[in-house]
Homo-oligomer: A and B are copies of this chain.
Amino acid sequence: MPTTLDHLNAADRAVFVATLGGIFEHAPWVAERVVGSRPFATVAALYDAMAAAVAGATEAEQLALVRGHPELGGKVARAGAMTAESRSEQGSLGLDRLSDKEFARFGRLNEAYGKRFGFPFIICVRRHTRDSILDSFERRLGNSPAAERAAALKEIGYIARLRLVDAVEGPGKPKTAGRLSTHVLDTVAGKPAAGVKVALKELGSSAEGLLKEAVTNADGRTDVPLLGDAPLRIGRYQLEFHVGAYFAARGTPAADPPFLDVVPIRFSIAEPEGHYHVPLLASPWSFSTYRGS
């Protein structure tokens, strides 16, 4: 149950710290250091204050904060020692249900990482697909210790920001949700293409496949964004537009079989909080797309 910013602004110091003590994993001192700066006008201002407290902490405190996080997909996770928040976040990607092979791979990466840096690999899993986690994991293994500590703190910031947005209702929430939308235009009719079936798939070695199916409305759009209300996961995707069936239903002349039937648009998302508008302009013989906004 989320609380409200008003409530936190007015609460006893102990209640404030108890409520926000878990925003930064096993680090209630972050909440303690900002309680005196109340009232906060916006949720974003509260978050900025907490982030500033972390940035201003000693190196030892920062390292302890990093070390307080569970291993990703590792033994700890299986043994059930994570906080409820961590369990929920990692579970959202299926990291608590890894195959033996994946478990082994994460294990090897965790071991190499721990040996190199002396703390667990931290990543804000709600902003990633499994593939992009593995990519990041391997890339970050090449970092210098200082660069990697900075990278870990940055991820901790993303995790805390999402937790705070979940935990506290109030004005001026920081932007944590992205959006993926589309639009289909029929360039033969010069009109939005209504009734086009659109499928969104996640691609990748361990992708879950179909994420969403929708049909375009009279304006050539889907009634709700294909993705929204949460960070977009960094990763590879494919939109599939069933334009062959659309043109056949309208009686637009085409070849048999139609030159274009299901049109795939393959793209990657790099900005979890961004707006990706990926439209399709199509005739039975041509199409174009672009990242719009």
What residues make up the interface of A, taking CB atoms closer than 8 Å to B?
132, 135, 185, 187-192, 219-220, 234, 236, 253, 255-264, 266-268, 270-271, 281, 283-293
Contact = CB atoms under 8 A, between A and B. Distances in A.
A284 to B, nearest CB: 7
B271 A281 contact: no
Given A189-B285, A191-B293, A286-B187, A271 B257 contact: no
B283 A187 contact: yes
27 contacts: A185-B290, A185-B292, A187-B283, A187-B285, A188-B283, A189-B285, A190-B255, A190-B259, A190-B283, A190-B286, A190-B290, A219-B293, A220-B293, A236-B257, A255-B268, A255-B271, A256-B270, A257-B268, A259-B267, A259-B291, A260-B266, A260-B268, A281-B288, A285-B290, A285-B291, A286-B289, A288-B288
Contacts of A281: 286, 288, 290
A236 B263 CA distance: 12
A270 B266 contact: no
Contacts of A267: 259-260
Nearest to A286: B290
A234 B257 contact: yes
A-B CB proximity, top 3 nearest: A190-B285, A288-B288, A286-B290
Nearest to A135: B257
A289 B291 contact: no
B289 A287 contact: yes
Nearest to A263: B266
A135 to B, nearest CB: 8
Contacts of A290: 185, 187, 190, 281, 285-287
